[in-house]
């Protein structure tokens, strides 16, 4: 919630002490992961900082897909091969498993919006399907 608050204030360019407080509560909130406090920054710098914090702090919570779609960065970060686990082989080298049969694509003209379910459109005839669906 704190990072969402900070992100909203940054996007509105309403950067004040509450933005830094919210960011620093996350960065310093756990005794095992203390990050340096943030005290200054431009809108662009703070936007990048909060995006990185969300990516790291909310890892494995299922939020990143929604974040990159909201930030309109999905077409840059999603396309490409699907990678699996990285492990150390018997020779001590790092090996990353890659599924060469799968290559993710992201069409910005279509994939930023999901299709509206037909059931919902039947319930409300005023709804129109999202573009390219």
Mean pLDDT of 65-82: 92
Mean pLDDT of 57-75: 93
DSSP 80: E
**Per residue in 8-61, pLDDT tens?**
999 999 999 999 999 999 999 887 878 899 999 999 999 999 999 999 989 889
With cut-offs at 50, 70 and 90, classify the pLDDT of residue 101. Answer: low
Q: What ranges do the domains of the chain cover? A: 2-71, 81-105
The separation between CA 110 and the C-alpha centre of its own chain, rounded to angstroms, equals: 18
Angle between helices 17-27 and 43-57 (to 10 degrees): 30
Spelled out in words, what is the top-level CATH class assigned to the domain 2-71?
A: mainly alpha
- The predicted pLDDT at position 48 comes to 97
Portion of the chain with pLDDT greater than 70, in percent: 98
* Residue 104, helix vs strand vs coil: strand
Question: Could you give the CA distance from residue 21 to residue 3 in angstroms, rounded to a whole number?
Answer: 10
Burial 32-71, CB ≥16 within 10 A → b, else e: eeeeeebeebeeeebbebbbebbeebeeeeebeeebbbee
Q: Where are the alpha helices (DSSP H) in 58-114?
A: 64-70, 74-77, 108-111
């Amino acid at each position: 919630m704190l990072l969402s608050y900070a992100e909203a204030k940054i996007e509105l360019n309403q950067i004040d002490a509450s933005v830094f407080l919210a960011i620093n509560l996350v960065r310093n909130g756990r005794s095992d992961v203390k990050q340096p406090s943030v005290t200054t920054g431009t809108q662009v710098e703070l936007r990048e900082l909060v995006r990185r914090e969300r990516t790291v702090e909310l890892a494995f919570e299922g939020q990143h897909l929604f974040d990159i779609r909201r930030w309109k960065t999905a077409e840059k970060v999603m396309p490409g091969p699907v990678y699996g686990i990285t492990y150390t082989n018997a020779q001590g080298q790092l090996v990353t498993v890659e599924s060469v049969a799968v290559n993710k694509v992201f069409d910005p003209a279509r994939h930023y919006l999901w299709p509206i379910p037909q059931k919902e459109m039947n319930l409300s005839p005023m709804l129109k399907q999202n573009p390219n669906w």
